[in-house]
Amino acid sequence: MDRRQKQTAKFDALMAGMDTSTAIPYTMTTCFKADDLLKHPAFGLGKVIKCLSPNKIHVMFREGEKFLIGVLPQDIE
């Protein structure tokens, strides 16, 4: 199994049982938390793996992991 196939299998396992209709459209000003599903205009469907400081989120997409700008819940007042 090559790297791309492993990445796809990892993504599929992570998404198993998830309701993809609940995916939140991605914007840099949207608040995300771990385990949220998001829909990115370029990368497609993804799952937030971890929220990082100060305003970054770690997201798993079918094509691989990305770090995106996002508002963290504790930043909302």
Distance from C-alpha of 62 to C-alpha of 18, rounded to nearest angstrom: 14
What are 11-64's pLDDT values in tens digits?
A: 999 999 999 999 999 999 888 999 999 999 999 999 999 998 778 999 999 999
Q: Residue 1: pLDDT band by 50, 70, 90 thresholds?
A: confident
Q: Which residues contact 17 (CB under 8 A, 6 or more apart)?
A: none
User: Residue 7 burial (CB < 10 Å; 0-12/13-18/19+)?
Assistant: middle
Q: Residue 73 has what DSSP assignment?
A: G
pTM: 0.85
Give the domain ranges of the chain.
3-75
Q: Which residues contact 71 (CB under 8 A, 6 or more apart)?
A: 28, 29, 30, 31, 32, 55
